[in-house]
Chain A
Amino acid sequence: MDALDVARWQFGVTTVYHFLFVPLTIGLSVLVAILQTMWHRTGNERYLKLTKFYGKLFLINFAMGVVTGIVQEFQFGMNWSDYSRFVGDIFGAPLAIEALVAFFLESTFIGLWIFGWDRLPKRAHLASIWAAAIGTNLSAYFILAANSFMQNPVGYRINPDTGRAELTDFPAVLTNKVALITFPHTLAGSFLVAGSLIVAVGLWHVIRNRDSADTGAYRFATKFGSWVVLVASAAVLFTGDIQGKIMTDVQPMKMAAAEGLYTTESPASFSVLTVGSLDGSRELFAIKIPYLLSYLGTGDPNGTVHGINDLQAQYASQYGAGSYTPIIPVTYWSFRFMIAFGMAAAAIALLVLWSHRKGRTPTSRWLLRAGLVMPVLPLLANSFGWIFTEMGRQPWIVFGEMLTRNGVSRSVSLTEVLTSFTAFTLIYASLAVVEFKLLVRYARAGVPDLTPEPADDATDDAERPLAFAY
């Protein structure tokens, strides 16, 4: 074990952890904004209750996304300083713009939204949640543009004197085709999580809290969330399909690694499940769909998909001796888990909608269990998706330009990076427990009662309690 290994583990753990909270922030900010807009338009209190209810869950989650996000920005410099030196001229710009353009918008207007219920005109208050939602979604774009440069570097040159990457075409970085498709794919994945949470909580109240005066609100939320999940999963599939073709084009090794495809095939079949020796020499058991991989990768059922062995040989002659193959079991299984978990959530959403058909009220305990598992599924799908896309890029930190092992901080010792890895893991683990318990607590509590709190002693306007206080 050396500092490089620990730095990689730390990046993996802190990033996957951060991305447990981000999708909910991205998706739920918009969905809560939609609910509040519905209240604004119809005046129906049901939507106000749901806005406040899901808004609370949103905020419990939001706090975690914020604080774990700062770690991400610092980590590049702390653990990956040679990477930061190499790409800073390009990579720093989207990060800085993300902060200036998106994070300020998000954080300022979230504050206005949380505390502004009684201090802002209704319209301004509604605009605040939309501004925060837009900020959140914008931030995703900039950070994905930065990440896409690592997958498919564009708009740069290598300065022969310094050996550093230099920006030559900023619009090209922002319109990197990997970024353009990863952005909608990530948003769709985020709405899958947010919709699932809305369903899980709503369905729990529909089934377990049957006599509630707010059953109508929960029924609405459950169906609303289910539709969000269905639309989002269609969008995930659609964008994922395009993404696969772009990946085959710009990172053929990643596609081959996703499939464990060792030899070039045309047409190539998609392996649903293969059990075999990891070096690809022997297949024990396999379920395959003919032509599918060719179609996924190239759009042509007879298209050629390059195999790992050929690509390895090609890269070795291009970049010098060494292994250019990611860890195949990781990429193979994470790719499948991503798809399976995401689609499982969609299947449950269909069941939930079916259970509500023609005004019916579901009672099934199995459906309830499935509903409660639902938010976990797209979270896992997102995590595996990121593990796949980042592990599939290895051994590169910037594809074709810098190896991960050359990006690590030279001045940081094993002890230091172990200290930080341990500290983050511990604090993150304990906060995860706290956050989960709070979410459950507030989800169980249900929608709020809207009758205002009676004033303390004085009814003087200046001494009225705040509508919301920490």
Chain B
Amino acid sequence: MELTTVWFLLVAVLFTGYFILEGFDFGVGMLLPVLGRDDRERRVLINTIGPVWDGNEVWLITAGGAMFAAFPEWYATLFSGFYLPLLLILLALIARGVAFEYRHKRPEAWWKARWDRAIFFGSLLPAILWGVAFANILRGVPLDGDHEYVGGLVDLLNPYALLGGLTTLALFLTHGAVFVALKTTGEIRERAGALAVKLGVGTAVVAVAFLTWTLTIRSSAAAVVLAVGAALALLGGLAAARVRREGWAFTGTAVAIALAVATLFAALFPNVLPSTLDAAGTLTATNAASTPYTLKIMTWVAVVFTPIVLAYQGWTYWVFRKRIGVVHIPRH
């Protein structure tokens, strides 16, 4: 396999990992005001992701770094072109990251309410905007012959991209609800489980619509298979959620997100950022790539370190596998 293809796959894997992992912690953040009826309940919710959210976010930093290293043209065009959405994502990630750490640092209600808002909006904005961004990557954006983005903000807010935003929002909400049901005890668990089923139905409709639209824009045999797989996984997850098989439900939504992201990448390949103007402006896995030497070094680093990272991150989830409930929240 060409190294450029390997790195296309690795970037896809990194973003997939990011959306599975931070997907549920965005979901938990957005469900904070819905599932958490008082401060202790909200603390239960926050503590389900407390030990892991930071590690989850590093998937994004690694995906960004991998994109920069392996496909500098893609990174440069995408990040300068999608300027304002990325700015909003950054501001949101700043607010929510600080909020997790600072919320419990003072007892006053106004203090906690302020950080709760930061967590809610800080999760909501990226949950929508990542969908908008990835839908635009797939759809293509106006790029000139130098691969410079020549559109404006309005070009990014097309109906297909907005449906993409709605899809990630819905997926992350459901995924988050399922995760809460899996990680908590008592009333919150019940509420989260019931909510997951309700949300899941709407999510399935939106996701199927989005994936279908995606395949009419560009498609490949693999993309079709993956899209069907994503829909089936989501339905399977829903069925499991209905009968409160929380582990299976979570597996279902996680696989659904993975396959939905994979669908986008499979449909996109070998392009990485198609131009809607001049075909010469289209960035591909070949013309956006670094030199074979750089890719070779990066491949070695990835081969050695990715399994190590997966092992210790997996271990963290094992360490914090226990469900938590209001009884576990210390008083102070």
Pair B93/A67 contact, Cβ less than 8 Å: yes
Stretch with Cβ within 8 A of B (4 or more), from A115-123, A193-201, A297-305: A115-123
The DSSP consensus for interface residues of chain B is: helix
A421–B92 alpha-carbon span in the complex (Å): 15
Pair B301/A111 contact, Cβ less than 8 Å: no
A438–B69 alpha-carbon span in the complex (Å): 38
Pair A70/B60 contact, Cβ less than 8 Å: yes
Interface: B35 (CB within 8 A)? no
Pair A420/B100 contact, Cβ less than 8 Å: no
Interface: B222 (CB within 8 A)? no
Pair A427/B94 contact, Cβ less than 8 Å: yes
Binary CB contact string for chain A from 149 to 173 against chain B (1 if under 8 A, 0 otherwise): 0000000000000000011101000
Q: CB-nearest residue of chain A relative to B144?
A: A411
Interface: A103 (CB within 8 A)? yes
B-side contacts of A82, CB under 8 Å: 76
Q: CB-nearest residue of chain B relative to A71?
A: B90
Pair B149/A92 contact, Cβ less than 8 Å: no
Closest chain A CB from B231 CB (angstroms): 32
Pair B148/A95 contact, Cβ less than 8 Å: no
Interface: A289 (CB within 8 A)? no
Interface: A45 (CB within 8 A)? no
Decide: A115 near B328, CB < 8 A? Known: A71-B90, A88-B72.
Answer: no
Decide: A78 near B83, CB < 8 A? Known: A60-B102, A108-B313.
Answer: yes
A-side contacts of B298, CB under 8 Å: 93, 96-97
Closest chain B CB from A168 CB (angstroms): 7
Interface: B162 (CB within 8 A)? no
Set A64, A90, A469: member contacting B50, Cβ < 8 A: A469
Interface: A332 (CB within 8 A)? no
A167–B327 alpha-carbon span in the complex (Å): 56
A-side contacts of B69, CB under 8 Å: 88, 92-93, 95-96
Binary CB contact string for chain A from 73 to 97 against chain B (1 if under 8 A, 0 otherwise): 1101111011011011111110111
Residue of B70, B71, B90, B291 with most chain A CB atoms under a 10 A cut-off? B90
Interface: A211 (CB within 8 A)? no
Interface: A99 (CB within 8 A)? yes
A459–B68 alpha-carbon span in the complex (Å): 53
Pair A63/B72 contact, Cβ less than 8 Å: no
B-side contacts of A411, CB under 8 Å: 80-81, 148-150
Pair B54/A81 contact, Cβ less than 8 Å: no
Stretch with Cβ within 8 A of A (4 or more), from B174-182, B253-261, B270-278, B304-312: B304-312
Interface: A463 (CB within 8 A)? yes
Pair A97/B90 contact, Cβ less than 8 Å: no
A76–B106 alpha-carbon span in the complex (Å): 36
A438–B94 alpha-carbon span in the complex (Å): 17
Closest chain B CB from A99 CB (angstroms): 4
Pair A99/B87 contact, Cβ less than 8 Å: no
Interface: A215 (CB within 8 A)? no
Chain A positions 93-109 with a Cβ under 8 Å from a chain B Cβ: 93, 95-101, 103-105, 107-109
Pair A88/B316 contact, Cβ less than 8 Å: no
Decide: A465 near B76, CB < 8 A? Known: A104-B62, A431-B98.
Answer: no
Assign chain A's interface to a size class.
Answer: 35 or more
Q: CB-nearest residue of chain B relative to A78?
A: B79
Set A423, A465, A467: member contacting B91, Cβ < 8 A: A423
A79–B75 alpha-carbon span in the complex (Å): 12
Q: CB-nearest residue of chain B relative to A93?
A: B69
Decide: A103 near B100, CB < 8 A? Known: A81-B80, A82-B76, A466-B324.
Answer: no
B-side contacts of A71, CB under 8 Å: 90, 94
Binary CB contact string for chain B from 48 to 63 against chain A (1 if under 8 A, 0 otherwise): 0011101101101110
A294–B52 alpha-carbon span in the complex (Å): 53
Residue of B72, B73, B100, B319 with most chain A CB atoms under a 10 A cut-off? B72
Pair A107/B327 contact, Cβ less than 8 Å: no
A116–B47 alpha-carbon span in the complex (Å): 13
Decide: A81 near B98, CB < 8 A? Known: A92-B69, A100-B305.
Answer: no
Closest chain A CB from B13 CB (angstroms): 12
A78–B75 alpha-carbon span in the complex (Å): 9
A-side contacts of B103, CB under 8 Å: 470
Closest chain A CB from B135 CB (angstroms): 19
Decide: A465 near B330, CB < 8 A? Known: A67-B98, A411-B149.
Answer: yes
Decide: A104 near B84, CB < 8 A? Known: A96-B66, A116-B319.
Answer: no
Closest chain B CB from A85 CB (angstroms): 5
A104–B79 alpha-carbon span in the complex (Å): 23
Binary CB contact string for chain B from 288 to 312 against chain A (1 if under 8 A, 0 otherwise): 0011011001100110011001001
Chain A positions 290-347 with a Cβ under 8 Å from a chain B Cβ: none
Pair B328/A464 contact, Cβ less than 8 Å: yes
Decide: A67 near B80, CB < 8 A? Known: A88-B68, A93-B297, A96-B298.
Answer: no
Interface: A2 (CB within 8 A)? no
Pair A470/B47 contact, Cβ less than 8 Å: yes
Interface: A453 (CB within 8 A)? yes
Interface: A416 (CB within 8 A)? yes
A-side contacts of B319, CB under 8 Å: 112, 116, 119-120
A59–B69 alpha-carbon span in the complex (Å): 30
Chain A positions 220-234 with a Cβ under 8 Å from a chain B Cβ: none
B-side contacts of A463, CB under 8 Å: 327-328
Pair B101/A63 contact, Cβ less than 8 Å: yes
B-side contacts of A438, CB under 8 Å: 102, 105-106
Interface: B213 (CB within 8 A)? no
Pair B65/A100 contact, Cβ less than 8 Å: yes
Pair B64/A74 contact, Cβ less than 8 Å: yes
A-side contacts of B91, CB under 8 Å: 423-424, 427
Q: CB-nearest residue of chain A relative to B101?
A: A63
Set B50, B57, B331: member contacting A70, Cβ < 8 A: B57
Pair A77/B327 contact, Cβ less than 8 Å: no
Decide: A77 near B94, CB < 8 A? Known: A99-B62, A104-B55, A114-B51.
Answer: no
- Other than the given A77-B68, A423-B91, A469-B328, 6 more pairs (CB < 8 A) read A63-B101, A81-B80, A84-B72, A93-B298, A99-B61, A469-B47
A-B contact pairs, 25 of them (CB 8 A): A60-B102, A63-B100, A68-B94, A70-B93, A74-B79, A77-B79, A81-B79, A88-B75, A92-B68, A95-B65, A95-B69, A98-B65, A100-B301, A104-B58, A104-B312, A112-B51, A115-B51, A166-B293, A167-B297, A170-B297, A419-B84, A438-B102, A465-B328, A466-B330, A469-B43
